[in-house]
Amino acid sequence: MTEEKLQLTSEWDKTFPQSDAVDHTKVTFHNRYGITLAADLYQPRRAAANARLAAIAVCGPFGAVKEQCSGLYAQTLAERGFLTIAFDPSYTGESGGEPRYMASPDINTEDFLAAIDYLSCRDDVDAKRVGIIGICGWGGLAINAAALDPRIKATVASTMYDMSRVSAKGYFDEADSPEARNSSRRALAAQRTSDYAAGTYERAGGVVDPLPEDAPWFVRDYYAYYKTPRGYHPRSLNSNDGWNAIGTQSFLNQPILAYADEIEGAVMVLHGEAAHSCYMGKDAFSRLKGDNKELVLVPGAVHTDLYDGGGKNAIPWDKIQTFFEKHLQQ
């Protein structure tokens, strides 16, 4: 097994301030496809020497980078005593993988499992106490990873999207028909031909900019995060030119929550009660079984409020901490 030598930035370039209670370093690890992933490692300074800590891997949102809200989640939980990493998925951010800006339900689930590989082999981690957090589209992928890998003892799916569902059925399931799916398939097939002939990949565009006057309210929420100093980052696909137009094609045909009911580990589905995506979180939770599953709805919070608090302290950090302490206990 070998790893590509990645060019990682050395300066603090996050969308959130650096904590003086945490040590931060850059690390890399690889997945089973040979792609090298870049991550930020956060270690609590108050940890005892030679301690083997509970650890958490964080990723998302879909189209974001580790310098945005996944890093905020990781740093905040490191302040609360966990060893954490926030990583860029394959083909994005500072991680490896060519061609750039592609996504895959399989490879992106594998990215989470590779993070578990890495954490489990660290001397300062208790491999029996490892969990994950997936944000937005990575919330659904986190549930998929938890269904596949029993090493994951606790999972938080925050403000989650089921990327397969929204790809195949549209927002609010308004395009749930064979005719609509076949229309999408034809468009993607034509785009593949065009891309191959051109020898380059057409980008799909990130969050719309400038914002149309008739933009849906949830698009305005995305704009307020990704296109303003609140959350903009130069490596973020959502902040800039988006995925390749065919980059997320395989989600259209590959459900990711098929075995959610077989997850033995603990799962928290965390969502804003006013989020446009809340129906996906509630429906995912309805698939889960066992008394170690919980649904947490934040009153008044929209989808992006759970990215960074939304200026109203919308992220219930104490609940998340208590959940992981309970289910990653020694």
The helix-helix angle for 105-120 and 137-148 (nearest 10°) equals: 60
> Three-state SS string across 34-95, please?
CCEEEEEEEEECCCCCCCCEEEEEEECCCCCCCCCHHHHHHHHHHHCCCEEEEECCCCCCCC
Whether the predicted pLDDT of 283 surpasses 80:
yes
The Cα 67–Cα 90 span in angstroms is 15
pLDDT of amino acid 133: 99
- Note the pLDDT tens digit of each residue in 40-79: 999 999 999 899 999 999 999 999 999 999 999 999 999 9
Whether the predicted pLDDT of 11 surpasses 90:
yes
Whether the predicted pLDDT of 330 surpasses 80:
no
pLDDT of amino acid 1: 83
Mean predicted confidence (pLDDT) in 118-146: 98
pLDDT of amino acid 138: 98
- Note the pLDDT tens digit of each residue in 227-251: 999 999 999 999 999 999 999 999 9
Place of tokens 């137009």: 245
Mean predicted confidence (pLDDT) in 271-281: 98
Is the CB of residue 119 less than 8 Å from the CB of residue 55? yes
Neighbours of 197 (CB within 10 A): 8
Banded pLDDT at 28 (limits 50, 70, 90): very high
Mean predicted confidence (pLDDT) in 315-330: 96
Mean predicted confidence (pLDDT) in 179-207: 97
Question: For the CA atoms of the chain, what is the radius of gyration?
Answer: 19
pLDDT of amino acid 2: 85
Furthest C-alpha separation in the chain: 61
Decide: residue 246, CB within 10 A, 0-12 exposed, 13-18 middle, 19+ buried: buried
Share of the chain above pLDDT 70, in %: 100
Tokens of 294: 């919980």
* Mean pLDDT score of the chain: 97
- Note the pLDDT tens digit of each residue in 137-192: 999 999 999 999 999 999 999 999 999 999 999 999 999 999 999 999 999 999 99
- Note the pLDDT tens digit of each residue in 70-119: 999 999 999 999 999 999 999 999 999 999 999 999 999 999 999 999 99
| pTM beyond 0.85 | yes
